[in-house]
């Protein structure tokens, strides 16, 4: 008994430790995966290595296509726009700045812009924003990737009605008025659900401060 | 530039999601050009899209999709840099707008739409519209509400209304529930970019009379 006791304690402590370790591991793994893709994209700009590009393609192209299909594009166009977006990934890799965004966010914006171009016959010019100057008042940009992981986890915890408007907006390309019509709720409610969702996500985004 | 009025989160989210009509997207881009604070916020609204992209189940691509693309990698780039017109004539304007206008502000075909108010329709694709308004000192725009959303960016000068004082770089981000009557309260004219996603509704007799002419 007296011999068992400390052992039992150790076992419990070990169990707690390993749970914490597992949680940390999965956090680590996610961070590593995210770092991997951002590192891969950064390396691509230097190396112009097509096998590196092949890795990025196999991860992102099928997801980009899913995104474009959800925007309501027919299969053939979705395939084409995916190709165009991935070609831009290759060509513009030198513009990717992992301090500003993760690889998935950067590729999302390229795919979004390609889709906008396609949907509007009369092209919307794509606006190049000025380079970010270091501003002590703004958040440290180097943390964007980490914060994005938290955001991803936070999206999964949003209440259904907030997750719904987020998906309709970002992934079905619906304007706020269209969402209001579709759900039969006032425009103001659509916006306030989006604001609520974003303020929760932002809390994770800003957690590091 | 000291900017004190910014976009609603919902507006930046729509910009990141790519669902704003052209005029509103132009206006958002103009403010972003001037406002590091909103650029930082936009990184967060873009990141929502990036996070959702990772959550999507992958779709099947054509079997030879990567080979097709490989064949194009070494192609010379065509018109990747769509030569944007030089914006020299309008250096005081934010770049996205300056690139759209082909002449200095004073040489553009402004239309007089009432006492002390001139308008220039940018003729972008709807829904809604985008226009420049040029309001003389001491003049106020008729009281109006909005069917949908109205974004205003002050390009020059300032105005005052029920919501506060708006100076160069500030945006007013209004929805249908707000009624306002901007008044130019300095001796400098006020030039602003206004983008809507539905027609404005004027209240009061003067507003109703003026609406058909303004076509707002």
Q: How many residues does chain B have?
A: 216
pLDDT in tens, A115-157: 888 876 444 445 666 655 444 444 444 456 666 777 778 888 8
Whole-number pLDDT of residue A165:
95
> What span, in angstroms and rounded, lies between the C-alpha atoms of A43 and A96?
10
CB nearest B99 (choices: A70, A125, A173): A125
Average pLDDT of the segment spanning A12-33? 61
Percentage of residues in chain A having pLDDT higher than 90: 43
Residue B131 half-sphere exposure toward CB, CA atoms < 13 A: 23
What is the residue-averaged pLDDT of chain A?
79
State which fold the A31-122 domain adopts: Rna Polymerase Sigma Factor; Chain: A (1.10.1740)
Please report, for the domain that includes residue B110, its CATH number.
2.60.120.10
B33 → chain A, closest CA residue: A129
| Better-predicted residue by pLDDT, B78 or A189 | A189
In this predicted complex, what is the ipTM?
A: 0.79
Establish if B71 touches chain A: CB-CB under 8 angstroms.
Answer: no
**A195 burial type by CB count under 10 A (0-12 exposed, 13-18 middle, 19+ buried):** middle
The Cα of A19 is separated from the nearest Cα of chain B by a number of Å equal to 25
Give me the domain span that covers residue B123.
1-47+92-216
Alpha-carbon gap: B77 to the closest alpha carbon of chain A (Å): 8
The answer to the question of residue B73 being in a domain is: no
CB burial string B55-75: b at 16+ within 10 A, e below = ebeebebeeebbeebeeeeee
Tell me how far apart the alpha carbons of residues B150 and B202 are, in angstroms, rounded to a whole number.
Answer: 13
Please state the domain count of chain B.
Answer: 1
Q: A124 vs B11, B44, B105, CA distance in Å?
A: 18, 23, 22
pLDDT score at A208: 39
| Among candidates A60, A105, A115 on the partner chain, residue whose Cβ is nearest the Cβ of B18 | A115
At A149-173, the pLDDT tens digits run 777 788 888 999 999 999 999 988 8
Q: Residue B111: what pLDDT?
A: 92
Sorted by sequence, the CB contacts under 8 Å of residue A62 that are 6+ apart come out as B58, B59, B60, B61
Q: Is residue B68 part of a domain?
A: no
Pick out chain B residues at pLDDT < 50. Answer: 80-83, 210, 212-216
Q: What is the reported pLDDT for A202?
A: 80
Output the DSSP codes for A20-62: HHHHHHHHHHHHHHHHHHHHHHHHHHHH--HHHHHHHHHHHHH
Q: A153 Cβ partners below 8 Å, 6+ apart?
A: A204
Note whether A144 contacts B43, CB cutoff 8 Å: yes
| A124 chain-B contacts, CB cut-off 8 A | 22, 25-26
SS3 B103: coil
Give which of A62, A127, A140 to mutate to test B binding, by max B Cβ within 10 Å: A127
Q: Hey, is the C-beta of B47 within 8 angstroms of any chain A C-beta?
A: yes
pLDDT digits (tens, 9 = 90+) for A79-104: 999 999 999 999 999 999 888 889 99
Which of A63, A94, A95, A207 best probes binding to B when mutated, by most B CB atoms within 10 angstroms?
A63
**A124 Cα to chain B: minimum distance (Å):** 6
Query: Which pLDDT does position B88 carry in this prediction?
Result: 60
With 0-12 CB in 10 A as exposed, 13-18 as middle and 19+ as buried, what is B93? buried
Establish if B108 belongs to a structural domain: yes
Distance from the A15 Cα atom to the nearest Cα atom in chain B, whole angstroms: 31
Q: Residue ranges per domain, chain A?
A: 31-122, 141-209
Give domain status of residue B175, yes or no.
yes
Question: Options 1.10.1060.10, 1.10.10.10, 3.40.950.10, 1.10.3720.10; which CATH number does A141-209 get?
Answer: 1.10.10.10
CB contact under 8 A, A129 and B33: yes
Using the beta-carbon criterion (under 8 Å), do A170 and B16 form an inter-chain contact? yes
**Torsion angle of C-alpha atoms A111, A113, A72, A173, degrees rounded to 10:** 110
Q: Report residue A10 as tokens.
A: 């150790």
Residue A8 reports pLDDT greater than 50: no
- Distance between CA B35 and CA B96 in Å, rounded? 14
Residue B180, C-beta contacts closer than 8 angstroms, at least 6 positions apart? B143, B144, B161, B162, B163, B172, B174
| Distance in angstroms (rounded) separating the CA atoms of residues B184 and A104 | 45
């Amino acid at each position: 008994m007296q011999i068992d006791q400390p052992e039992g304690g150790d076992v419990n402590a070990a169990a707690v430790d390993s749970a914490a370790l597992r949680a940390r591991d999965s956090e680590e793994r996610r961070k590593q995966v995210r770092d991997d893709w951002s590192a891969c994209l950064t390396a691509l700009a230097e190396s112009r290595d097509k096998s590196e590009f092949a890795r990025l393609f196999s991860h992102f192209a099928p997801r980009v296509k899913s995104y474009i299909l959800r925007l309501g594009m027919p299969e053939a166009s979705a395939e084409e726009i995916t190709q165009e977006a991935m070609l831009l990934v290759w060509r513009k890799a030198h513009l990717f700045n992992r301090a500003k965004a993760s690889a998935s966010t950067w590729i999302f914006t390229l795919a979004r812009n390609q889709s906008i171009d396609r949907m509007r016959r009369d092209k919307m010019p794509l606006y190049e924003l000025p380079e970010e100057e270091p501003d002590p008042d703004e958040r440290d940009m180097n943390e964007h990737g980490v914060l994005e992981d938290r955001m991803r986890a936070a999206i999964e915890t949003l209440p259904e009605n907030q997750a719904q408007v987020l998906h309709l907006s970002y992934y079905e390309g619906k304007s706020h008025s269209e969402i209001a019509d579709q759900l039969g709720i006032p425009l103001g409610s659509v916006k306030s659900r989006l604001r609520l969702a974003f303020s929760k996500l932002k809390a994770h985004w800003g957690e590091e401060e | 530039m000291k900017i004190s009025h910014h976009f609603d989160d919902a507006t930046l989210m729509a910009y990141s999601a790519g669902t704003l009509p052209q005029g509103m997207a132009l206006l958002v881009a103009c403010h972003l050009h001037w406002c590091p604070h909103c650029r930082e916020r936009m990184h967060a609204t873009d990141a929502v899209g990036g996070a959702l992209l990772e959550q999507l189940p992958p779709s099947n691509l054509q079997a030879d999709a990567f080979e097709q693309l490989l064949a194009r990698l070494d192609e010379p780039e065509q018109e990747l840099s769509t030569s944007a017109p030089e914006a020299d004539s309008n250096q005081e304007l934010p770049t996205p707008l300056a690139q759209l206008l082909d002449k200095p502000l004073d040489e553009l075909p402004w239309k007089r739409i009432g006492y002390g108010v001139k308008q220039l329709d940018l003729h972008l694709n709807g829904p809604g519209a985008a226009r420049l308004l040029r309001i003389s000192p001491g003049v106020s725009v008729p009281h109006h509400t909005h069917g949908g959303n109205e974004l205003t960016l002050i390009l020059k000068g300032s105005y005052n209304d029920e919501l506060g004082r708006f100076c160069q770089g500030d945006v007013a981000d209004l929805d249908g529930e707000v009624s306002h009557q901007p008044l130019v309260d300095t001796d400098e004219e006020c030039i602003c970019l206004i983008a809507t996603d539905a027609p404005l509704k004027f209240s009061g007799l003067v507003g109703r009379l003026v609406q058909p002419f303004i076509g707002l």
